[in-house]
Amino acid sequence: KIGGWQFDFLTDRLWWSDETYGLHETTPDAFTPTVETALNFYTPDSRPIMAEAWRKGVEQGQPWDLELELISVKGRRIAVRATGQVDVLEKRAVRAYGTFQDITEHKLAEEALRRAHDDLERKVVERTEELQASQERYARATAIGKVGVWELDVLNGQYHADTNLKELFGYGTNELSTDPFAWLRLVHPEDQPIAMRNWELVQSGAVEASHYELRHIRKDGSIVWGDIRARAVRDPKGRLTHLIGATVDITERKRVEVALRESEERYARATAIGKVGVWEWDLNSDQYYYGDAHLDSLFGYARGELSSEPYAWLSLVYPDDQPTALDHWEQIRTGAVPMCHVELRMVKKDGSIVWIDVRCHSVQGQNGRVARLIGAAVDITERKHAEAALRESEERFSKAFRTSPHPIGITEAVTGRCIEVNDACLEAFGFRREEVIGNTTFLLGIWPKLEDRARVIERLKTGQPMRNMEFALKTKSGALRYFLASADLAELNGVLCVVTVANDITDRKLAEEALRISEERFAKAFQASPHPVVISELDSGLVVDANEAAWRLFGYRKEEVVGQTTLQIGLWHSMEERAHYLEQLKCQGSIRNLEVQLRSKDGDIRMCLLSSERIELNGKQCIVTVGDDITESRRMERALQLTQFSVDHAVEAVLWVDQTGQIFNVNETACRMLGYARQELITMTVHDIDPSLPVERWAEHWKDVKEQGALGFEAKYWSRTGDVLETEVTFNYLQYNGKEYGCAILRDIGERKRAESELHRSHAFLRQVIDTDPNFIFAKDRTGRYAMANRSIADCYGTTVEDLIGKSDADFNRNVEEVEFFREKDLEVLDSLEERFIPEEKVTDAAGNTRWLQTVKRPIFDDEGQVHMVLGAATDITERKRMEEMLLQRERDLHAALQERERISQDLHDGILQSLYAVGLGLEACKPMIRQQPDQNVVKLTSMLNQGIGQLNHVMGEVRNFIAGLESHVIQGGDFPTALRNMIRTMCSSAAAKCVVRIEGIAARQLSTEQALHVINIVREGLSNALRHSGAGRIMVSLYSLRRCVRLAIQDDGLGFNASLTQGVGHGLGNMAARAKKVRGRFAIQSKPNEGTRIILDLPKDTTYAHD
């Protein structure tokens, strides 16, 4: 939808193309456009803009390219792009032309795109809010569900876990490192092979996902079960890059599973041990459809061997007990009773008799009748036998009870009332039988502490037996006696009683107390000693005892050492050292602070100072050895020595200062760097080597270091030689033994600074070169965002280089087609890995102008050979495109000129040339008439006539040359220098002035055909003026080559003239200047009265050579 227009200022006529009429919705028959009527089509807002653009075009030759609105003949509002150009010749507008383009749909598309963009932004905001809400829900869900998410970066060897996973193992957010093996150590040692086996399967590619359960060790040492699910992430080459997964805390589930399994096992054991069989009877179908294995084995049958016939069980009942069984069966079957409980004798498969405790419950159906019976049969044969044996036992117990030497008493559990006591009990407490029987222990005052008896009763009620518990009880006289008592609950005549058997240990207690007091003193000193103390036999090395410090030092438990020799537990690192130690002890009787090497349980060698004394214990020679572990102090001494050596030989200089800035210690590197001896430096302050840090600022500097703990900065220090050292300083604040210190680590960064400065200069130079380049230079990543760009492309988009980086063409260019074209070519380069040459592509700049580019795009490879960016260089060919358009226009103009010339040639040939030819014929006809004149006049008249005919023939020749065109002689292979010389010789043949011609061959070859034609015409005009008006005696025409141009010079020594007074006089000079302008030449005239005239024409060398 593009139409054209043209306006001729000479005829004041405006021409529209058919497309332009169609755009205005009118026809040539209905409307004749003028400038004024054309402006009226524009809307009130657009009309002033168009009128101003027209004014500037007419007055200044300024082109326009505008987007405006007009209203068609039919009243439709149309958005148009109006362009125009005015041709100005000698400061006068001669012609204007341009185009109209209907951009209504484009504008609508832009508006739709804007609305879509706004809608997209709104959706992005809404989606972002939904994503944030989703992330919050996910965080809450994983926290509640005890789920931790983790990722293993295989390529970088790092393990990342979220906060939930760290909390799962009892750690804080920053407590665990990213080292994968640090996380592996959290796995229970017995389960680590499971984790490694699943890792190897995923790593080898055998599986893509794994699922397993294992135990982890929390920070507090507790065990937590984890359900692990992991999945592999691989790159396009199939190489494993990441392993992502989640860990769920299933400790509670595992606990429930274990509890359920233990419960089932206990039930199975209980039914097996308790000889219990379970059965169920369906009365509706009258089938015995369930009986467990224990029920079968109860009667000596294998599983499934016992018949499931409903009344088969009756045959198992002992004949004498069958009536009882039937009676209970009938009552529960009819619903008379809901349950029954009966003890029956039953006959096993082998014929033996067993006692069975039968318990049965009825289950009613929907009709209210009994539908099922559920029951259990318990083998109580042993109980029955036990009851019989009990009766016999009671008789034997009664006899033993009376004659026992130990006090025995039977009391009611609840009231404490005494039911029976033996003679030994009466004797121990000093009571008579009648004082005890029927009385309570409370009234008898036996228990000094009643809570002791209550505690015993509670213990017995919980099923825990009481064995040999020690009590202090009162006798009748009030004296305390000590007893070891054992008690059990027993039911007598339906009353819960306590049967107590005691052993009087009062005398033994007194002896033990005396011994305890003696041993307590030694034990306290022995166990409380912070130093290891060991008692062992002298000859065998058998360990008799050792204190806690000894166990802790060597990593053993007491039971692992006591009763073992030092050789058996491998305590001595060297047998020779042990032998020497014992020999010295036997000879001297004691040893003080002898350094030896001993081995701990885990194999570590410990350095100890041992002191030993010989003693006699239970008739055996023993030794008491006291040790002092000096392993750590020895290690610290070695570490301190190594640290001092490392600091002294470190690459960095190290200085220690106090809070006043006084240097009190330095390493060797500091001495070398600063050029001082150690003794000189420790007498100096930091102000001596850093004059830029005044003394009054030190307190503030020290305060900052103390608050932050450490500071890093760059400083300049002066060496002894006066050199200024550029250093990077790390200053650490330290506290030791209540004093404050500072440790400064100095790194010489002078070389690095110089390199950085050079790199910065190089980068700035490169940046300047790139920004100076008028071409577009850029680099984009795979997403189409600029990673590098020069100033030319930033200027095109109306922004800065800094703002352009990280953004795409779509952020600045609203032309979707252009952006998509750029993106398509970028992806072609990235995907094909090959360079692309784009002869022409369009880009719309920030001002809305269309610019043409010629672009080369190449792929950029990273260190791994992967394409990650595209590098582009584009040349702005807008001017070339404009010149091409101008050239096409000139060709059209030349064609029109040639047609016009053909017409003029015809007019000259048919008009002027024929008239001149007729004049010539007339002059020739005069010759016979002249010959009839007197003789003295014939010669003179004939000469004058011949001269006139010659001049007329010359004029006719020039006209013919003009008609045929001298250029045809040049174009058709003629020699331009020869043609020029011949023309000059012809013009000067009858002139009094001497003409000199100097033409350089290289200069003639550097002229185009068009330039050669104009040079001949300019020389003709200039030479004609010199011959006719200058009165010159010598005229020189020269053509020679300069560095940037070819120069034509026409110089004479004639009268000359004032160049400023030539305006409006004749057309010769104007024609020469016009011809010079057509070939883009620079034309100048230099002349002064009586000093001659010089005409100069400089022609550029940038055209195609026509004369080789």
pLDDT tens per residue across span 246-269: 898 888 888 888 877 777 677 666
- φ/ψ bin of 570: left (φ > 0), alpha (ψ from -120 to 50), beta (otherwise): left
Residue 68: CA count within 13 A, CB half-sphere: 25
Q: Kindly write down the DSSP assignment for every residue of 913-947, as one continuous string.
A: IHHHHHHHHHHHHHHHHHHTS-HHHHHHHHHHHHH
Mean pLDDT of 883-899: 78
Q: Is 780 exposed, middle or buried (0-12, 13-18, 19+ CB in 10 A)?
A: buried
Calpha distance 435→290 (Å, rounded)? 62
DSSP-assigned letter for residue 353: E
What secondary structure, in 3-state letters, does 1037-1051 show? Answer: EEEEECCCEEEEEEE
Determine the 3-state secondary structure of 547 from DSSP: coil
Residues 1016, 968 contacting (CB under 8 angstroms): no
Q: Which two tokens stand for residue 219?
A: 């920070």
**Lowest mean pLDDT: which of 209-213, 525-529, 910-914, 977-981?**
910-914
pLDDT in tens, 898-928: 677 667 766 665 567 667 766 777 777 777 7
Q: Is the pLDDT of residue 779 over 80?
A: yes
Q: Is the pLDDT of residue 110 over 50?
A: yes
Q: What is the per-residue pLDDT for 980? A: 87
> Strand 590-599 relative to strand 543-546: parallel, antiparallel, unpaired?
unpaired
**Lowest mean pLDDT: which of 523-532, 722-731, 795-804?**
523-532
Q: Which of 877, 869, 871, 873 is CA-nearest to residue 842?
A: 877
The helix (run of H) or strand (run of E) holding residue 958 is helix 935-964
In the chain, the amino acid numbered 133 is: A
Q: Which of 326, 301, 316 is CA-nearest to residue 346?
A: 316
pLDDT in tens, 1053-1076: 998 888 776 655 556 778 888 888
**Binning pLDDT at 50, 70 and 90, where does residue 409 land?**
very high
Which residues, 6 or more positions from 844, have their beta carbon under 8 angstroms from its beta carbon? 813, 814, 815, 818, 850, 851
Q: What does the angle CA 1054 – CA 1056 – CA 1061 come to, to the nearest 5 degrees? A: 160
- Other beta carbons within 10 Å of 577: 15
Look over the chain and give the mean of its residue pLDDT values, rounded to a whole number: 84
For residue 614, CA distances in Å to 563, 590, 619, 620, 623 come to 19, 7, 13, 10, 4
Stronger pLDDT, 967 or 514, i.e. the higher one: 514
Mean pLDDT of 663-685: 89
Stronger pLDDT, 290 or 746, i.e. the higher one: 746
Q: Which two tokens stand for residue 657?
A: 């200062």
**Binning pLDDT at 50, 70 and 90, where does residue 180 land?**
confident
Q: What is the per-residue pLDDT for 970? A: 43
**Binning pLDDT at 50, 70 and 90, where does residue 699 land?**
confident
Q: What is the per-residue pLDDT for 465? A: 83
Calpha distance 431→796 (Å, rounded)? 122
Stronger pLDDT, 738 or 74, i.e. the higher one: 74
Residues 407, 425 contacting (CB under 8 angstroms): yes
Stronger pLDDT, 897 or 15, i.e. the higher one: 15
Q: Is the pLDDT of residue 244 over 80?
A: yes
Determine the 3-state secondary structure of 453 from DSSP: helix
Q: Is the pLDDT of residue 969 over 50?
A: no
Q: Which two tokens stand for residue 359?
A: 């318990």
Q: Integer distance in angstroms from the first to the last C-alpha of the chain?
A: 47
Phi/psi at 1082 (5° precision): -105, 115
- In total, the chain counts a number of residues equal to 1108
Q: What is the per-residue pLDDT for 1108? A: 35
Residue 161, Cα to own-chain centre: how many angstroms? 15
Beta strands in 351-427 (DSSP E): 353-364, 370-379, 408-412, 418-421
Calpha distance 911→873 (Å, rounded)? 62
Q: Which two tokens stand for residue 555?
A: 């990593």
- Other beta carbons within 10 Å of 1009: 16
DSSP-assigned letter for residue 709: S
Q: What contacts 24+ positions apart, CB below 8 Å, involve 480-489?
A: 480/448, 481/428, 481/506, 482/506, 482/509, 483/407, 487/456, 487/460, 488/460, 489/413, 489/460, 489/461
The helix (run of H) or strand (run of E) holding residue 857 is strand 850-861
Q: Which of 89, 92, 67 is CA-nearest to residue 79?
A: 67
Q: Which of 419, 573, 594, 571 is CA-nearest to residue 495?
A: 419
Q: Is the pLDDT of residue 283 over 80?
A: no
Calpha distance 83→64 (Å, rounded)? 5
Q: Is the pLDDT of residue 954 over 90?
A: no
pLDDT in tens, 831-882: 998 999 998 899 999 888 989 999 999 999 988 889 989 999 999 888 888 8
Phi/psi at 992 (5° precision): -80, -25
Taking each helix axis from N to C terminus, what angle separates 935-964 and 914-931, rounded to the nearest 10 degrees?
Answer: 170
**Binning pLDDT at 50, 70 and 90, where does residue 188 land?**
very high
Q: What is the per-residue pLDDT for 290? A: 63
Q: Which two tokens stand for residue 767?
A: 């940046």
**Lowest mean pLDDT: which of 133-142, 206-215, 692-701?**
133-142
Helices (H), 608-733: 631-648, 668-674, 678-681, 686-689, 698-708
Q: What is the per-residue pLDDT for 85? A: 92
Calpha distance 702→930 (Å, rounded)? 131
Q: Which of 173, 143, 182, 35 is CA-nearest to residue 98?
A: 35
Q: What is the per-residue pLDDT for 972? A: 43
pLDDT in tens, 491-530: 888 889 999 999 888 888 887 777 677 667 667 767 777 8
Mean pLDDT of 683-711: 87
pTM value > 0.85: no
Q: Which two tokens stand for residue 1068?
A: 């010769």
**Binning pLDDT at 50, 70 and 90, where does residue 966 land?**
very low
Q: Is the pLDDT of residue 944 over 80?
A: no
Residues 535, 617 contacting (CB under 8 angstroms): yes
Residue 361, beta-bridge partner list: 339, 374
> Strand 77-89 relative to strand 480-492: parallel, antiparallel, unpaired?
unpaired
pLDDT in tens, 1080-1096: 899 999 988 888 999 99
Q: What is the per-residue pLDDT for 1104? A: 43
- Other beta carbons within 10 Å of 1079: 19
Residue 1091: CA count within 13 A, CB half-sphere: 8
Q: What is the per-residue pLDDT for 69? A: 92
Phi/psi at 377 (5° precision): -120, 125
